[in-house]
Structure 1
Amino acid sequence: MKELQVLEALKPKLTNIFNHLHQNPEISWQETQTTAFIAEVLKEEGVCFQTLPTTTGLIAEIGSGEKAIGIRTDIDALWQEVNGVLQANHSCGHDAHMTMAIGTLLVLHRLNVHKKGRIKFLFQPAEEKGTGALKFIEEGLVDDLSYLFGVHVRPIQELADGQCSPAIMHGAGRFVTGEIIGEDAHGARPHLGQSAIEIGAAMVQELNRIKLDPMVPHSVKMTKFQAGGDSSNIIPGKAQFSLDLRAQTNEVMQQLATKVEAIFAYLSSLYEVEIHYEITADIAAAQVDDDAVQLMGQAIIETIGKDEMVPPIITSGGEDFHFYTLKKPELKATMLGLGCGLSPGLHHPEMNFNHEAIFTGIEILVKTVLNTLEKEGA
């Protein structure tokens, strides 16, 4: 097929693109060089694009028409310790996602599909913060889309190398930061203050006692707790903490959040301290469209065969991609789950995967767009 010939010719260029993106990661909302690099690639190919005045990321388009088919990729990296050094790191595969989006764009551009319709590519920042999709929605960048497709590399715990799924049923996530505000006390006179450490321990115990529907996966855990200083004879009255909430549905997430808020109020009253908190990010659970899933599934079968297609996978991880359908219910969307031998796991500082899977992903995305154009034009 012609698209395979075009993709084969592009492989050296796409390999160089991936290597550059992998070696130059940037954290959320700071993806300035990443945006500039993608813009330069598109400029060289003669593809129309626009950078955004209020944020990083960019939008590219080929073809024409009132409604467009969208391809979305995330562009940010994580900040984590790698070999003893804190640094930006593409341990969630966004370098691969960007390469697949660019590859899909270039293949479709060279196939002259602009005569069949309009395809819009969203290079979205700050997925790891859970706020990038909301910014794109706020800016009206998806208002003209009828379909939206994404992709995410999957760990070996979910998909084997060579397998693919036409949908990823991500769960909801909520990230909370807070502060316990009490009074310090001398180690010999604990009754004159409040121990933030003991309150933190009580908080962990109460969080572990939360009981919700066991048929819906959910969890809440403390991921940061900082209290005290260098003086071991001072009982700290203040502490900072972070919580990570997960639930497979948006409804159970709301129930979980209500329980957590009740725990804050209870401990505040019991220990006579103030507990201040804020929600730093909310991530919606997946809401996928049957038509989009069918079109993606058809492309998977055409690319790797029916035996390698796995039904939609359920994962406790989160993705801000699903804000697009939560905020725009009329948008038909799904995300390709790409098996690529990824290990030890997503967000592991030494995450690695079979880079050849990038080209499989591009082929599937190209065929998904072509199938959708055919369906829309029928």
Structure 2
Amino acid sequence: MKEILVNLQSRLDEIFTHLHEHAEVSWQEYQTTNFIAKLLKEAGMKPQLFEDMTGLYVDIGKGTPKVGFRTDIDALWQEVDGVFKANHSCGHDGHMTMAIGTALVLKEMEANLAGAVRILFQPAEEKAAGARAFVEKGVIDDLDYLFGVHVRPLKELQDGTYAPALYHGAARLFTGSIIGEEAHGARPELGINAIEVGAAIVDGLQKIWTDPNVSASVKMTQFNAGGTSTNIIPGKATFSIDSRAQTNEVMDAITAGIKRVIASVEVMYGAKVDLQVDANIVAALVNDEAMEHMRNAIIDVVGESACALPVVTPGGEDFHFYTYDRPNLKATMLGLGCGVTPGLHHPDMTFNRERLLTGVKIITKAISRAL
């Protein structure tokens, strides 16, 4: 594999620069999909695209793929230097670069592979929808193993260290509306004040108790009510709730608690409260066997001193829907310690791009071990 990797660093730099400069948001990754497909075709591979959505996958080796590697391909929409734009501030440009690099290396090794590998270029991770779309397409049905990767901030991993697993938390985001009754400010008894109903919901959320040994939080993050007149009691409001938990079981307990709060507030005030789930991300379900393959791959490439412990992080990742929906799938994510600063999702996020080649080496080793 050494000969294959000699000239790969400069190639990865070119690929990363293009992907970084041509970021696209979820479900609109058309140029990204076509760029990756063209690059893979030029390397002698046969990428498979979809007629009804962005994203693609490619198989390398003979037979039915049993080992897979997944990357996300979408970007965030955020303000950068005063202008709103698609921006790869979550590292997906780096993830794609490593996935392409891994595909190029595996293609060169194809004659010596012990089986077939599938590389997945998944859209809409930021919408927590792409993984389930791939599950529904049957893309992972034949896989026994699935690996992923995510760049990590300095507070989690030092530059040049690598973790064999990422234990992301669960996140569930709700939006709701309150329908009360407007009234004159002088006659509050004739109305149902949507602001007071919202305040009662906030108070109720603070009384949801879960396992204290598991990190969790639930809080209202948006609330809008009333107009420009200060003497009208508002009858309508909209709100958002952000809930987080380190395990899926605690997230389910929080969700049940939110529903109890809403039901009791409706009875207390005689208001109607509509609630819906806008986004749902499950917590990591890491397979020990897959994690061991990744741990040994890290040690093979960079040595035991650079192999960190698995990272427990409150952030979310829709990668974990693969194992949530397919419990028999053996999966883990490589945590790439590459000096991410100032932090993930910061508009000026940057990291040490030299670690991308190391990531390719570790991922290729993990895939070879799983095969």
The TM-score normalised by the length of structure 2 is 0.95
Residue 234 of structure 2 is aligned to residue 236 of structure 1: yes
Distance 2:303 2:273 in 1: 55
Which of 141, 145, 148 is 2:146 aligned to? 148
Q: 1:227 to 1:162 in 2, by over 3 A?
A: same
Aligned counterpart, 1:376: none
Aligned counterpart, 1:191: 189
Aligned counterpart, 2:165: 167
1:71–1:150: 8 Å Cα contact kept in structure 2?
Answer: yes
1:15-44 superposed Cα distances (whole Å, 9 cap, x missing partner):
121111112222211211211111111122
Which of 220, 223, 226 is 1:225 aligned to? 223
Distance 2:81 2:227 in 1: 27
Q: Which amino acid letter does the alignment assign opposite residue 135 of structure 1?
A: A
Deviation, 1:109, is 0.9
2:8–2:357: 8 Å Cα contact kept in structure 1?
Answer: no
Aligned counterpart, 1:65: 63
2:298–2:304: 8 Å Cα contact kept in structure 1?
Answer: yes
Deviation, 1:113, is 4.6
1:297-350 superposed Cα distances (whole Å, 9 cap, x missing partner):
111011111011112111111111111111111111110011111122212222
1:67–1:145: 8 Å Cα contact kept in structure 2?
Answer: yes
Aligned counterpart, 1:86: 84
Q: 1:231 to 1:155 in 2, by over 3 A?
A: same
Residue 201 of structure 2 is aligned to residue 203 of structure 1: yes
Number of aligned residues: 371
1:75-118 superposed Cα distances (whole Å, 9 cap, x missing partner):
11112222333322211111111111011101111223565311
Q: 1:186 to 1:36 in 2, by over 3 A?
A: farther
Distance 2:53 2:259 in 1: 33
Structure 2 residue matching 1:145: 3-state secondary structure: coil
Aligned counterpart, 1:274: 272
Any gaps of 5 or more consecutive residues in structure 1? 374-378
Q: Which amino acid letter does the alignment assign opposite residue 30 of structure 2?
A: T
Q: 1:225 to 1:80 in 2, by over 3 A?
A: farther
Distance 1:341 1:224 in 2: 32
Distance 2:280 2:321 in 1: 9
Aligned counterpart, 1:49: 47
Q: 1:285 to 1:4 in 2, by over 3 A?
A: same
Q: Which amino acid letter does the alignment assign opposite residue 36 of structure 2?
A: I
Q: 1:362 to 1:115 in 2, by over 3 A?
A: closer
Deviation, 1:141, is 0.7
Deviation, 1:277, is 1.3
Aligned counterpart, 1:247: 245
Q: 1:266 to 1:338 in 2, by over 3 A?
A: same
The TM-score normalised by the length of structure 1 is 0.94
Aligned counterpart, 1:257: 255
2:113–2:368: 8 Å Cα contact kept in structure 1?
Answer: no
Distance 1:83 1:193 in 2: 45
Which of 335, 358, 361 is 2:359 aligned to? 361
1:192-228 superposed Cα distances (whole Å, 9 cap, x missing partner):
3233223223322221222111101111122222223
1:15-164 equivalence runs, <5 A:
15-113=13-111, 115-164=113-162
1:344-371 superposed Cα distances (whole Å, 9 cap, x missing partner):
2212222221111111111111111122
1:199–1:271: 8 Å Cα contact kept in structure 2?
Answer: yes
Aligned counterpart, 1:335: 333
Distance 1:40 1:31 in 2: 14
Q: Percent identity?
A: 55
Distance 1:36 1:74 in 2: 15
1:302-341 equivalence runs, <5 A:
302-341=300-339
1:64–1:114: 8 Å Cα contact kept in structure 2?
Answer: no
Aligned counterpart, 2:176: 178
Distance 1:198 1:84 in 2: 36
2:152–2:335: 8 Å Cα contact kept in structure 1?
Answer: yes
Distance 2:113 2:161 in 1: 32
Structure 2 residue matching 1:336: 3-state secondary structure: strand
Runs of at least 4 residues of structure 1 off by over 4 A? none
Q: 1:193 to 1:165 in 2, by over 3 A?
A: same
Structure 2 residue matching 1:42: 3-state secondary structure: helix
Which of 204, 209, 212 is 2:210 aligned to? 212
Q: 1:341 to 1:68 in 2, by over 3 A?
A: same
Any gaps of 5 or more consecutive residues in structure 2? none
Distance 1:225 1:8 in 2: 55
1:136-195 superposed Cα distances (whole Å, 9 cap, x missing partner):
111111001111000011111111111111001111111111111222333343333233
Aligned counterpart, 1:348: 346
Q: Which amino acid letter does the alignment assign opposite residue 280 of structure 1?
A: D
Distance 2:247 2:72 in 1: 23
